[in-house]
Structure 1
Amino acid sequence: RVKYILNTWFNQAKKQTYFITDRESLELNKTTNGHAVKTSCRKRRGHSDLSCKTGLSFDLYVKSDKRWWCHVDDDNYVNVQLLVKLLEKLDWRKDVYLGRQSVPHQLRGTYEGKRTRFVFASTGAGVCISKTLSKKMAPWTGNGKFLETSRIIGRPDDITLGFIINGLLKVTLTSTDLFHSHLETLAKIEPTTLQKQAILSQKAPTNVLNISKNVTNTTVFNLEEDPSRFYSLHCIIHPESQLCNAKWLH
């Protein structure tokens, strides 16, 4: 999955993008100019394992001077320029929780004897949080507390974020339909609108974007070269990229 990111949207945001990983990779660290952060989290996909990595990612952000923390998975494609424009319309000095609601109903959670109802945005479609809001989350997130909070409520990372932000801090989710996860049927997204989406996903080979030569005049890779469809997607958004040069294909 990582190679598709490195060859596409990572090049639009090299200084801002960090890879949080549970595997040692000198090659990845070199390619990203030191932006591959090795964690001590287990190499599994259980609730605690995912929350461990997300918590460390959040701690890394809090130490920075950046206005926004955007968390995306390794099966996401980020339309960097469009995401930046979207964030510019919002005020980082206010409490902003931006994402796509994963389920239509509220969930229930209990923390220190207090019950609350809340909604959450799926990290599978991407989530962005303002600097101001991140500071208010500190009692439940700072210095490893995110994993502890996740374990207390018995929920994975994205639901824990929603629990803290919407359930405890009562910050409303700013919903967007420009973020997409593989929980959707991605082939149903109209190909002519792909340039207008901020975050897209894939779950090759069963759930990928519908990109074929009869719907675009840009470079389209075959499924063997591009099972995620991220190369073909990148050429729709950035046709000037070297990746889309016919010479690169051979």
Structure 2
Amino acid sequence: MKIRRFGVRSFFASVGFLSVLACCIIAGGKLSWGNFIFQFHKLVGEATRTPHLSFEDILITIKTSRKNHEGRINLLLDTWLKPALPQVYLITDELDNVTQEKTGDHLIGTSCGSTYHRDHLCCKTGAEFDVFFAKNQKWWCHFDDDNYVNTARLVALLDNFNSRESFYVGKRSRYPGEYMDYKGHPYVFGTGGAGYCISCVLAQLMAPKVSEGSFVKTCQESNAADDCSIGYIVNYLLKLPLTESQLMHSSPYYGPETPEIYKEDLPEQVSFHHGINLGLFKNETFEPLFNKTEDPTGFYSLHCILHPEDKICSSI
């Protein structure tokens, strides 16, 4: 059976390659190399898709800063991050011994700078891409150090898509009808504040614009922030869509109108932002399990709703 399965895949790969090559010849060579690769991987992907995704197929990177290690990173380690750590890498501007001991080799230092200057943030995002390219996973997902990630639902979300095709999954940053603009040409992007995910095939198409330090130059070229520049590459340059997810949530103060979510629907959501207890949900007031002094972000309360068995929830 294994020999037969390999033969079928090889057959479809060959047919896919020849089909796309034929289309390129018929089109008089007008099919770009990027589109050639995209179409080829799409055909092969349809023939060879793995039926079920696991968390081990996803690489998560978190952009952070030395000044946030003690507060934000410790909060994440107390809640969702620690059990997920084998698949997560933290990209920072300066290492410290305490956080490095807690995270092992999953804390990666850079010389990117520690401010919110565009070049510093884009430098870190480029470093995130380089980690992904080195690890050879099916999916790369970016989150910020003020995100809570429901990893089980992240796997379920991405299992709807084929990593061997080009997918860019996230929350659209602006209202329908509103776009970012590059020299009069509109494009959309997924807000980094909610997190976004990119398939391995799409990441390879993006590589010339994002890897080995090139992403800073791309951000300067687009004259936009790091998450906007991801949309600039995918939606404007590659002409590929953002696959919008209503399960990924950014700050309640930014982006399109916040969704109506009931408390019982919390386990179905993929990501949350600091301030979950400050108005993210309109239909039902979020009732913290800890007081605001103990839990100003709402993450401990959220974590204990999703994982009441965790030892930090035993005192409730």
Question: Is residue 208–residue 228 contact of structure 1 (8 Å, CA) maintained in 2?
Answer: no
CA distance in 2, matches of 1:225, 1:187: 27
Question: Is residue 108–residue 117 contact of structure 1 (8 Å, CA) maintained in 2?
Answer: yes
CA distance in 2, matches of 1:206, 1:229: 8
Q: Deviations over 1:73-92 (max 9, x none)?
A: 11100001111111111110
CA distance in 2, matches of 1:204, 1:177: 16
Question: Is residue 277–residue 286 contact of structure 2 (8 Å, CA) maintained in 1?
Answer: no
Q: Deviations over 1:144-198 (max 9, x none)?
A: 1111110122111000000000110111110000000002687964323211110
- In structure 2, give the amino acid aligned to 1:230: F
Name 1:36's counterpart in structure 2: 107
Question: Is residue 275–residue 298 contact of structure 2 (8 Å, CA) maintained in 1?
Answer: no
Question: Is residue 186–residue 202 contact of structure 1 (8 Å, CA) maintained in 2?
Answer: no
Q: Choose which of 29, 32, 55 in structure 1 pairs with 2:126.
A: 55
Q: Choose which of 108, 119, 140 in structure 1 pairs with 2:188.
A: 119
TM-score (structure 2 length as normaliser): 0.71
CA distance in 1, matches of 2:302, 2:124: 28
**1:196 aligned onto 2:298:** no
**1:143 aligned onto 2:212:** yes
SS in 2 for 1:155: coil
Name 1:173's counterpart in structure 2: 242
- In structure 1, give the amino acid aligned to 2:148: Y
SS in 1 for 2:141: strand
Name 2:180's counterpart in structure 1: 107
CA distance in 1, matches of 2:128, 2:240: 21
Compute the displacement of 1:12 (Å): 3.1
Moved segments of 4+, more than 3 Å: 184-189, 203-211
Q: Choose which of 280, 286, 294 in structure 2 pairs with 1:225.
A: 294
Question: Is residue 127–residue 211 contact of structure 2 (8 Å, CA) maintained in 1?
Answer: no
- In structure 1, give the amino acid aligned to 2:274: Q
SS in 2 for 1:27: helix
Of residues 23-32 and 230-239 in structure 1, the stretch that sits farther from structure 2 once superposed is: 23-32
RMSD after superposition: 2.0
TM-score (structure 1 length as normaliser): 0.88
Question: Is residue 204–residue 227 contact of structure 1 (8 Å, CA) maintained in 2?
Answer: no
The gaps in structure 1 that reach 5 residues or longer are 214-219
Larger radius of gyration: 2
Name 1:239's counterpart in structure 2: 308
Compute the displacement of 1:228 (Å): 0.8
Name 1:97's counterpart in structure 2: 168
Q: Deviations over 1:38-85 (max 9, x none)?
A: 110111001111111111111111111211110001110000111111
Compute the displacement of 1:133 (Å): 0.3
Name 1:216's counterpart in structure 2: none
SS in 1 for 2:173: coil
**1:68 aligned onto 2:139:** yes
- In structure 2, give the amino acid aligned to 1:73: D
- In structure 2, give the amino acid aligned to 1:71: H
**1:212 aligned onto 2:287:** yes
- In structure 2, give the amino acid aligned to 1:108: D
Aligned length: 237
